Structure formats: C-alpha cells, structure tokens
Structure 1
Amino acid sequence: MEREREAAAAAQVPRPIRRRTYVRREHDIAHQRLFNDYFAKKPRWGPTVFHRRFRMRRDLFLRIIQTLEALDEYFQYWEDGVGRSGLTSLQKCMFALRKLAYGTTTDMFDEYLHVGETTGRECLMNFCRGVAEAYSDIYLRRPAAEDFQALMHMHEMAHGFPGMLWSIDCMHWEWKNCPTAWRGQFTSAYKGSHPTMILETIADHRLWIWHAYFVVAGSNNDNNVLNSSNLLADQCRGPGPAIEFTANRRQYHMGYYLAYGIYPRWLVFVKTISYPIGDRRVLFAARQEAARKDVGDDECGSSSSTATPPVARGLPMGFNEVIARQTSMRSQQDHAQLMNDMIEDVWKRNHH
C-alpha cells in the first residue's frame, strides 16, 4: 500500500516541459559569404587554396553539385512554410566536403555555413549516398575485357612491361577513435603505437583505383590482407577474361601485378630486386620501381598483350579446376621463369 501511495504521489508531480531551442540561422547570408569566398568571378580564395583546403578541384566540385541537384531533390533549394530561406546545394555539399576532408565534429562549421548538427549529419549521409549512386557505374564497376586490353597496352607503352595489369599496395589508416578493447588487434609495432586499418588498393598509370579492400585490422601485413581479399577470385574461378602476353619470346596466359618485396613469389606478381647484381637486374629494378610508382608518360605503339572475354560455360568451374588454377597462380617456379623473362625483355627494350 505504501508503495502504491508513493507511485500515485509521484505521478501527480508535473514533469518539466523541455522545449526545443530555436537558433536563428541566416542561410541566405551564409550562402552569399560562401559564394564570395570561393565561387565568385574574383573570389577571396582562389582555386589553389580551394584545392588545398578541400582536397578537390573547384570545377570538379561544381560538377558534383550539378549531378546531385538533378539526382536528388534533397539538394535543391527550398523555403519553409513561413517563407524563410533554406540551405542551398552549395552549402550542403560544402559542409559534406569539409566534413570528409577534415573529419571534425558535426557542428564545427555552424558558425560559417549556418548548418546545424542534425542537418549537417543529413547532408553528409545524402552526399555520400548520392555520389555513390551517381558514379558507381563508372568508378565502382568491375573491369571488362576491353579495360584489361587498354590497361595492358597503356602500361606496356608507358613502362615497357607487357602483361602488366596494375600496381598493388597496402596502406595503414590511423583509427583515432578505436575502442580500447580492440586496440591490440588493430595496432602493429611496425607502424607505431596508434591503431590502424589496412587499405589494399590496385591502381593503374592514371591513378585510377580499380580495387579497394578496407577495414582489415592493422596488426596484419600485406600477405594476410591478400589471403582474405577477393582480388584474385576471378582468376581462380574462371569468370575473368583470358589474358595472353609475350615476354622474351615466351607466351604467358595470366596477367600480373607490380609489387614490392613482401608479396609472395607467385606468378601474378612481378617484384623488384632488393639487391640487384649486374646491369640487367639493376635496370629492371629501376624500371619496376618507377612503373610501380606510376612514373612515366604515355606513348603510342603496338602491344604484345591481349585480353578476350571469358569463354561461356554451361556449368560453373569445378572444384578441381579451381584448385589447379590456384596452384598454377602460386607456382614459385613459374614466378622465377617470369622474372627472368621480364628482366631480359626490359633489357632488350632499352638496348636494341
């Protein structure tokens, strides 16, 4: 009975009414200030400063805004029921770009752009979703046989490496807000005392990224990441295009990636030589390292590399065939033969 009386007495006590605080934001004035700073005919801060601050060229940013305006009504200008001006597409996209470039708190740019915390979070989410929807068919697609052919031709003409597909590398991204319980598996003594996540990427001569594999614990190395990624899955299972190239008058049926020393001695990797002995090996090491860093200019000429669409199969490739292709891909003997042929081929190309 006593507890019931206490509960009834507590229910009669009026609860405080918490009203939402209204902040008067002048969106039109903030838009005009932003326009005068970066987008006017004579802006206060020119294209060079814009590129340094936002990690993007100004004309590219404006093209993205036009695409998002046509794709999503969220980025179109509107007024509320009482006629107050809302945020423009320039303000919304600028907030998202600053958030991505600097990684600061959501209300960091409220004083300059007059974008609240909740609205800023919506801007960032819609911006990322809109960019992915608008450009995924171009920049997030899987390469076709025509792409492989163009890539091998470009790299052979630019660097003198027939059959080269891409350069492969891994990098560590510092995870500032890593939970304490996860710090051990995301920290590597080789990379310092801060937790990191590993990003595996492959890129071509134009710095076009064709593959990205992210969110691997920083305590791993490049070989561990390679074993868990799906980079070589198509070559093992057979749906990838058939690739042929000639090196030192020897025919090969599998493209390769330029890599550095930590990667395994597989047929799909052409690695540099750490301590080259002899003129041929010294030249090859210099050319390989320059090509891996995408140093060089495009040239014109014919290519000895070809890529054709995969042969249509009535049934999927069997388990034994997959194991056979994987064994061939990891053959150290074939890797040694490819390295010798590439050394001779690079030497002949530079010493006619």
Structure 2
Amino acid sequence: MSQDLFLRIVNAIKAHDTYFIQQRDGVGRLGLSTLQKITAVFRMLAYGLPADATDEYIKIGESTAIESFKRFCRAVVEVFAEQYLRSPNTNDIARLLHIAKQRGFNNDINVLEASHLFAKLAEGIAPHAHYVIQGKHYNMGYYLADGIYPKWSTLVQTIHDPRGLKKSCLQ
C-alpha cells in the first residue's frame, strides 16, 4: 500500500473516531499514537496476526489491539461504505472495463462468494456496461470464468475444447 493511501485512511479514521487521536493519560504521559493503533490493525488484517503478536513490533497490548481492530473496522464501514462498499454503478463499470482492457481481468472464487455484487449475478442481473466485441455491441456486463464457477448467464466460461495447434500440443 502506498504511503499516501495509508495516510489518507489514517486521517479519515482519526477524524471519525477520537479513540485514534493520541492523548495524555492522568499523569500527563502520551498514550499510543494514531499510527501505532492503525498499524497494528493493518498488520493483523494483512498478515493474519493475532492481537497479541502486535506487542513486540508495535509496542501495543493485546486488549488495545483488539479494541483498535473493532473500532477501525466499524469506522471503515461508516466512513467509506458509501463510496467503496457498494455495488458498482455505470461509471465504475466503464472505468473497470477500461482498466481490464489495459491489463486483463483476474477473477477469484473467494471474492465471488463474499460479494453482494455477485449475489445479483446469481439472479441473472449484471451491471449495465457498453462494449463491442468483433463489431457486435453489448450492454450487459459479464465476467470471464473457468470451470470452478457456477453456470450463470453473467459468467462466461472459457473454451473447454480448444481447436488448433494448442490442442495438438496438449495431447
């Protein structure tokens, strides 16, 4: 993650929940910093670390790491849900198609099972998208998939029986 993105998240969370603002205790000593609390959370999320494993690297106790984790997750939903935790709109789909055209598309079955976007796909509802393939215009999105994905109209399976040189090389 870039430093700019990390700091943007840190500042948004700190502005939303005063728990993440560094404060002085009753004796006047500084408590844990915003960066200590949020870095502990990121390490738990990124590496699957248990809360007590953050003590050695970040110098934060298990109970504080757990509290930081709970508050961070709640704050992320409250701060970012409207923009990032929603189904994509037409502009999002157009942007994603543009990116996919430049770098290719990568799909993941774990994302499929956890996404509310894909819950709509199960009903045969796909986001509106405009694209052209071999001169034919389409206005309903689809996703390329392989054999492990369900047989939905919005998931296009790859070719099961390829023809030509590639097939002869596989035999």
TM-score (norm 2): 0.73
Q: Deviations over 1:105-164 (max 9, x none)?
A: 322233443322222211111122222322222221211122233334554x5379xxxx
Q: Does 2:3 correspond to 1:58?
A: yes
Aligned residue for 1:98, secondary structure, equals helix
* Counterpart among 144, 147, 150 of residue 258 in structure 1: 144
The match for 1:4 is none
Cα pair distance change 1:235/1:95, threshold 3 Å: same
Partner Cα separation in structure 1 for residue 42 and residue 148 of structure 2: 36
Letter in 2 for 1:255: G
Aligned residue for 1:270, secondary structure, equals strand
The match for 1:119 is 64
The structural deviation recorded for 1:262 is 3.5
The match for 2:114 is 213
The structural deviation recorded for 1:265 is 5.4
Structure 1 spans left out of the alignment, 5+ residues: 1-55, 161-165, 171-198, 202-211, 215-228, 283-352
The match for 1:277 is 163
The match for 1:150 is 95
Letter in 2 for 1:132: V
Equivalences for residues 172-321 of structure 1 within 5 A: 199-201=110-112, 213=114, 230-232=119-121, 235-236=124-125, 242-243=128-129, 245-250=131-136, 252=138, 254-263=140-149, 266-278=152-164
Q: Deviations over 1:269-327 (max 9, x none)?
A: 33322442137xx6xxxxxxxxxxxxxxxxxxxxxxxxxxxxxxxxxxxxxxxxxxxxx
The percentage of counterpart residues that share the same residue type is: 41
Letter in 2 for 1:109: T
Are the counterparts in 1 of residues 127 and 141 from structure 2 also a CA contact under 8 Å? no
The structural deviation recorded for 1:77 is 1.4
Q: Which one has the bigger helix percentage?
A: 2
Aligned residue for 2:30, secondary structure, equals coil
Aligned CA-pair RMSD: 3.2
Are the counterparts in 2 of residues 167 and 259 from structure 1 also a CA contact under 8 Å? no
Count of residue pairs the alignment pairs up: 164
- From the CA coordinates, give the structure whose radius of gyration is larger: 1
Partner Cα separation in structure 2 for residue 244 and residue 58 of structure 1: 35
Cα pair distance change 1:159/1:85, threshold 3 Å: closer
Are the counterparts in 2 of residues 168 and 259 from structure 1 also a CA contact under 8 Å? yes
Are the counterparts in 2 of residues 167 and 257 from structure 1 also a CA contact under 8 Å? no
Are the counterparts in 1 of residues 54 and 62 from structure 2 also a CA contact under 8 Å? no
Aligned residue for 1:230, secondary structure, equals helix
Partner Cα separation in structure 2 for residue 143 and residue 268 of structure 1: 15
Which of 1 and 2 has higher RCO (CA within 8 Å, sep 6+)?
1
* Counterpart among 17, 35, 42 of residue 72 in structure 1: 17
Letter in 1 for 2:108: D
The structural deviation recorded for 1:91 is 1.2
Q: Deviations over 1:2-24 (max 9, x none)?
A: xxxxxxxxxxxxxxxxxxxxxxx
